[in-house]
Chains A and B, each alone.
Chain A
Amino acid sequence: MTTKELIEKLGLKPLSKFEHREIKGIFISDMVSDVMTGAKSGNLWLTIQTHKSIVSTANLADLSAIIITSGKNVPQETIDLASKYNIAVLSSSAPTYELAIKLHDLGLDKG
């Protein structure tokens, strides 16, 4: 599934400017340490963190997209930095646990 299909299927709100890419697996954590040690290239990252360091983290781990869950407000700085590095920052109003179930129901596995 591509980021484009995911956005359509889940009604996510794209915040940054980015090129669509294939999603390979899912990683959920609010700790960038965990992303560094556990996430894989192409992972879709679910988090409630909104500080712009998540963009650096996503960049380093080569993640396909970041979904900010629970309807958290994302600062413009984070969005701008993500657009600069062509990283998808998407917004969902669903809490993390529920979004995880929805993603699984869409057929996305851990990867």
Chain B
Amino acid sequence: MTIRIKIGIVKEALNATVLEGEVQLEETVEHIYASDLMSDVLAFGLPNSLLLTGLATKQAVISAHMAEFKGVVFLRGKCPKDGADIYARDKHLVLLSTKHDMYDSCLFISSALNEKHHESVGTVEDQTVGDIILKEDFTIGGRDFANAGMVSTEMKEILKKIGFPHELVRRVAISTYEGELNVIMHASRGKVQLLVSPKLIEVVIEDEGPGIPDIALAMQEGFTTATEEMRALGFGSGMGLPNIKRNTSDLNISSEVGKGTIVYMKFQVQEP
């Protein structure tokens, strides 16, 4: 389950004492790991997690650090007394102590997540086909040529990590890159949303810009409104819409002149 919650919010939710790491309360964690068995933390813990544990020892903090966790919450009022705080300070880990037990702590954190509407998504194994397992948002700056391709590159990494087939990831990356370029070339700003389900990847690119007056025309090969400058930079032999269409399972464009454009791309995950 990937989430996004500030450690400071967890501290409030658990009414916890900060043993170490006051300055790091602004940091965000993406997973909650509830365990007292450090071999499990080491084997299965994901980076940027928060450990909830009743094992109040320095070794627990060391294990959390090795698993690239951001902090440890000691439960049931326990506090390590063996130099764990000094170690945590050195490694920039947050240590909290709460009087609550593991069940209550899990519930308080979950409650805080729902309240703050943080992105909270389910795990692959628990979801049925069609349920979103990952949602990521990106921004694109208009005229930000220096960063052209940053979003599509990041997206490619995410999809690769999840384990989607190479060919599919390439198609998503190309399509997103074309869309990203269009925003940079023509719009004042834009945002990209990636929605991943086990069988479907959706990319929505929405911009604030001049809009496309004639979408059918723009869908023709070679059509471009790129300026000389953009062409010189190598970005503009076309708006890329036909290229996007070729690489997607479904493409939907809606636009309003003077306002902006929404490009909706759908990529079906084929059975191998």
Residues on A lying within 8 angstroms of B by beta carbon are 26-31, 34, 38, 46, 48-49, 70, 93-98, 100-101, 104, 110
Residues of B within 8 Å of A46, CB to CB, are: 103
B144 at the interface (CB under 8 A from A): no
B4-42 interface with A by 8 A CB criterion:
32-37, 40
**Interface flags, B182-201, vs A, CB<8A=1, else 0:** 00000000000000000000
Residues of A within 8 Å of B32, CB to CB, are: 97
Residues on B lying within 8 angstroms of A by beta carbon are 1, 32-37, 40, 44, 52, 54-55, 76, 101-104, 106-107, 110, 123, 125-126
What separation, in Å, do the CA atoms of A101 and B110 have in the docked complex?
7
Judging by beta carbons under 8 Å apart, are A104 and B110 in contact? Answer: yes
Residues of A within 8 Å of B54, CB to CB, are: 29-31, 34
What separation, in Å, do the CA atoms of A83 and B159 have in the docked complex?
45
Residues of B within 8 Å of A96, CB to CB, are: 34-35, 102, 106
Judging by beta carbons under 8 Å apart, are B36 and A104 in contact? Answer: no
Residue of B nearest to A104 (CB): B107
Judging by beta carbons under 8 Å apart, are A100 and B35 in contact? Answer: no
Closest beta carbon of chain B to A111's beta carbon, Å: 9
Residues of A within 8 Å of B40, CB to CB, are: 30, 48, 70
Judging by beta carbons under 8 Å apart, are B107 and A30 in contact? Answer: no
Judging by beta carbons under 8 Å apart, are B106 and A30 in contact? Answer: no
CB < 8 Å: which of A70, A97, A110 contacts B1? Answer: A97
Closest beta carbon of chain B to A69's beta carbon, Å: 9
Judging by beta carbons under 8 Å apart, are A93 and B125 in contact? Answer: yes
Judging by beta carbons under 8 Å apart, are B104 and A94 in contact? Answer: no
Judging by beta carbons under 8 Å apart, are B37 and A97 in contact? Answer: no
Closest beta carbon of chain B to A105's beta carbon, Å: 9
CB < 8 Å: which of B44, B55, B103 contacts A27? Answer: B103
Q: Given A98-B126, A104-B110, are A30 and B35 also a contact pair (CB < 8 Å)?
A: yes
Closest beta carbon of chain A to B76's beta carbon, Å: 7
Judging by beta carbons under 8 Å apart, are A101 and B33 in contact? Answer: no
What separation, in Å, do the CA atoms of A44 and B231 have in the docked complex?
67
Residues of A within 8 Å of B126, CB to CB, are: 94, 98
Residues of A within 8 Å of B52, CB to CB, are: 97
Residues of B within 8 Å of A29, CB to CB, are: 36, 54, 101-102
Judging by beta carbons under 8 Å apart, are B36 and A110 in contact? Answer: no
Q: Given A38-B76, A110-B103, are A30 and B1 also a contact pair (CB < 8 Å)?
A: no
Closest A-B pairs by Cβ, 8 of them: A30-B36, A100-B106, A28-B102, A96-B34, A97-B32, A97-B34, A31-B36, A28-B103
Closest beta carbon of chain A to B12's beta carbon, Å: 18
Closest beta carbon of chain A to B235's beta carbon, Å: 45
What separation, in Å, do the CA atoms of A94 and B127 have in the docked complex?
12
Residues of A within 8 Å of B123, CB to CB, are: 94-95, 98
Residues of A within 8 Å of B125, CB to CB, are: 93
What separation, in Å, do the CA atoms of A48 and B33 have in the docked complex?
12
Q: Which of the listed residues B1, B104, B106, B123 has the most CB atoms from chain A within 10 Å of its own CB?
A: B106
Judging by beta carbons under 8 Å apart, are A100 and B103 in contact? Answer: yes
